[in-house]
Amino acid sequence: MKQISRDAHAKINLALDVTGRREDGYHLVRMIMQEIGLHDTLTFKAREDGKGDLALKIEGADLSAGEDNLICRAARVMMKELGITDSLDIGLQKRIPIAAGLAGGSTDAAAVFLALRDLYAPDLTDERLCELALPLGADIPYCIMGGTRISEGIGEVLTKLPDLPAWPMILVKPAVGVNTGQVYRALDALEGYAHPDVDGMIRAIEEKDLKKTAALCSNVLELVTGPMVQRIGEVEAFFMKEGALTARMSGSGPSVFAIYETRERAAGALEAFWRSPVSEGCFGTLTTFFSREGKN
């Protein structure tokens, strides 16, 4: 029996801009993506029985474990691509909140592509994995590559940036869900809005300037998600009062990240948050930026 385990890290959008929309309805974006320490863990056991069965067991979340799950769909793509006839037992320990703007489903799918590549075809390139993954979701190629990257097109055009240090941050997810399609449709209805200074952030990242990078964090989708979910602004305001360098929404929401200069200040702010009525029903954790190369 072959077996392997892999961590699947959440992501945040340090900057998120929408630059247009294709004829097929997909939106064109320009984003700065960053992996963080919060992660799910997937385990894989392959039985050499020639049956090609697939079983998924999930702990930590009430999710479908059937063939409709993105993990299973990713596994089927790789099984077809590589001609895998082994039966696979996949276990998921879910820690990343669901429907949170953190690419939780996409990063789990990416872990499948990476793990099965490691088990069956170690010479298969990242580029080929991304080609296979893109039809399943625009965030999956980034989750395969990881790190700090510019993401353009519909999310599939990725450019590496220098890995950032393990800057401390708090992540909070209010107890509400957000419909991503509804958010983008609402943004389309706006006649005009200010765009993030993505180029300025790229320069700040290249300089590894924490304060400048934090100051340039911006997300155009918050223009529409913010009014839909009042708690987003309340969480941001709380952490700004508690000394955060910035507090912004990630993805289409509703998760908020707050960046701090020191872990001690972040830990103190999180403790204060749990004593506040703003925290009611929220998920929250203290984590850091994550680099695969540095394993920070």
Q: What contacts 255, CB < 8 A, 6 or more positions away?
A: 12, 97, 100, 101, 102, 171, 172, 173, 174, 249
Is pLDDT above 80 for 258? yes
Mean pLDDT of 279-283: 97
pLDDT at residue number 28: 94
**What rounded mean pLDDT belongs to the chain?**
96
pLDDT at residue number 23: 85
Is pLDDT above 80 for 294? no
Closest among 137, 94, 93 to 113, alpha carbons compared: 137
Domains of the chain: 2-160 (3.30.230.10), 168-288 (3.30.70.890)
pLDDT in tens, 183-236: 999 999 998 889 999 999 999 999 999 999 999 999 999 999 999 999 999 999
Collapsed DSSP state (helix, strand, coil) of residue 246:
strand
pLDDT at residue number 192: 85
pLDDT in tens, 117-139: 999 999 999 999 999 999 999 99
pLDDT in tens, 4-32: 999 999 999 999 999 998 888 889 999 99
Active-site amino acid positions: 11, 139
Structure tokens at 104: 């939780």
Contact present, 239 and 273 (Cβ < 8 Å)? yes
Confidence of residue 72 (pLDDT cuts 50, 70, 90): very high
